Structure 1
Amino acid sequence: MTCSETILRDDHHDLISRIGVPMSFAKDEEIYGQGERADLVYRMISGTVRTSRFMADGRRPIGDFYYPGDVFGLETRGSHSMGAEALSDCVILAASRQALLAAGGEDELKGLMWEATVRDLESAREHLTLLVRKSASERVASFLLGLAQRRGEAAVELAMGRQDMADYLGLTIETVSRMITQLQSSGVVEFESCRRFKVRDREALEDLAAA
């Protein structure tokens, strides 16, 4: 996978849904900053969120993208290792650790944190594999396939632009654009606009992503 998939149990989702407070964020609005205290846990209701880290040399690696149903913001340390921004208008449930502890008990909170940590480790492993072992065309194919599988729709809307894709995939924006053009020319995908695409040949896309 190239984007986050939530593996939290239904009871953990129910706990956040029960005590979480809905919050609205406008496109490009910061949800929390890198280095800020990690006092809240978030569950996506609508929209898309990006996590990223700014490096001393100016680079901005992207950690992950989060979609409706995903839980994010859990940290084993006391502060956020990455910042989070809304890529589109978002509605998010926010619950404090203290409220989760009071509502579900210590074991429930530990279970939620454990499952979220496992998910993040698996996502990081797959992201590293994508960056280290795959060619540029394979990275772009994997990313588009992951989005298509996750959204389950004939036409997929992209909340992120080419620069975000490039930063996540460890490529230049020019390379991402060139790979997308190649996929379109070969009839694998069709971009109806710069932010909307359809998969025309899923088998070919899967083969390229799995290479």
Structure 2
Amino acid sequence: MAQPNPRCNTCRVRACSVLRNCPGDILETLSDNKKYLHFQRGERLLIEGQRGEGIYFIRSGIAKIEVNGKNGRPLVLRLAGAGSILGHRIHDSTNEQPLSAEAVEDLYVCRISTAFYDQLIEKSPALHSGIMGSLLNEMHQVELHAVRLTHLPVKERVAAALLHIAKLYRYEPGSNGIRVHLERQDLADLAGTTKEQVSRMLTGLQRAGFIKFSGKHFKFFDLNHLQHITALH
């Protein structure tokens, strides 16, 4: 559903996005040629294998990034939050999306066409540099994720997933915690394990005092101990 367009120059998440170093004229052009959209939980922005129809900049909310796995089960590669860009990794030859992206809570995004995106990239070295930096960071995160899935026991993988969630939801020590709009199955997919094992590990971590939660409300994360568990921080 389309919403009134927020302006890129005054966007509250610009500083943590690929647009942070873009000059004012590029931001104004972008503001005039985008649509501001709302996706509800469960709606997909991108579908793996389908043609790319646009580039999305997340303004608020969380999306899960997936690829198809065995027996139709998705493999969750990562979660994307405010400031992330989606849809820019289409294959040049087929114009197909290599990934799927689904809203895990109310998601507000700014969308531009792929044709307009290509024009902006040519006009703005700062935007091109930001995109390349984003791609390199994504590659690094996927590599770390692959190492965790291959070499770490379940407890360490769950701890790594919790750290990822705490960072994405901007958890602050001493705060009232965060309400995570993820199902246990989502967390299991992210950690590469089963829902039952996730529940068991969460209970164990809570008994050890490393986390405190009730349902989807995570009231406390001991970030230092979780980082120590993963040994990959």
TM range (shorter): 0.7 to 0.9
Matched, 1:207 2:228: yes
Take 1:142 and 1:126, find their aligned partners in 2: how far apart are those partners?
A: 10
* Aligned partners of 2:90 and 2:98 also within 8 Å: no
Q: Are the equivalent residues in 1 in contact too, given 2:37–2:111 (CA < 8 A)?
A: yes
Query: Bigger shift: 7-16 or 150-159?
Result: 7-16
Counterpart amino acid of residue 130 in structure 1: R
Partner of 2:171: 152
Q: Which residue pairs with 1:30 in the alignment? A: 44
Distance of aligned partners of 1:116 and 1:76 in 2 relative to their CA distance in 1, 3 Å threshold: farther
Q: Relative contact order (C-alpha < 8 Å, sep 6+): which is higher?
A: 1
Which residue number corresponds to residue 56 of structure 2?
42
Is the contact made by 1:43 and 1:94 (CA closer than 8 Å) also made in structure 2? yes
Query: How far, CA to CA, are the matches of 1:140 and 1:56 in structure 2?
Result: 21
* Structure 2 residue 190 is the aligned partner of structure 1 residue 173: no
Q: TM-score, normalised by structure 2?
A: 0.78
| Residues 146 and 30 of structure 1, relative CA distance in 2, 3 Å threshold | closer
**Where does the alignment leave 5 or more consecutive residues of structure 1 unmatched?**
1-5
Mark the CA change 1:173 to 1:39 in structure 2 (over 3 Å): closer, same or farther. same
Shift, 1:13, TM fit: 10
Name the counterpart of 2:112.
Answer: 95
Kept in 2, the 8 Å contact 1:148–1:199? The answer is no
Letter of the 1:131 counterpart: L
Asked if structure 1 preserves the Cα contact closer than 8 Å seen for 2:154 and 2:193, the reply is yes
Question: Deviations for 1:175-209, whole angstroms, at most 9, x for unmatched residues?
Answer: 00000000001111100x22111335333222112
Structure 2 CA distance for partners of 1:131 and 1:104, relative to 1, 3 Å? closer
Offset of residue 32 of structure 1: 2.2
Q: Which runs of 5+ in 2 are unaligned?
A: 1-15
Identity %: 25
Alpha carbon RMSD of aligned pairs, Å?
A: 2.4
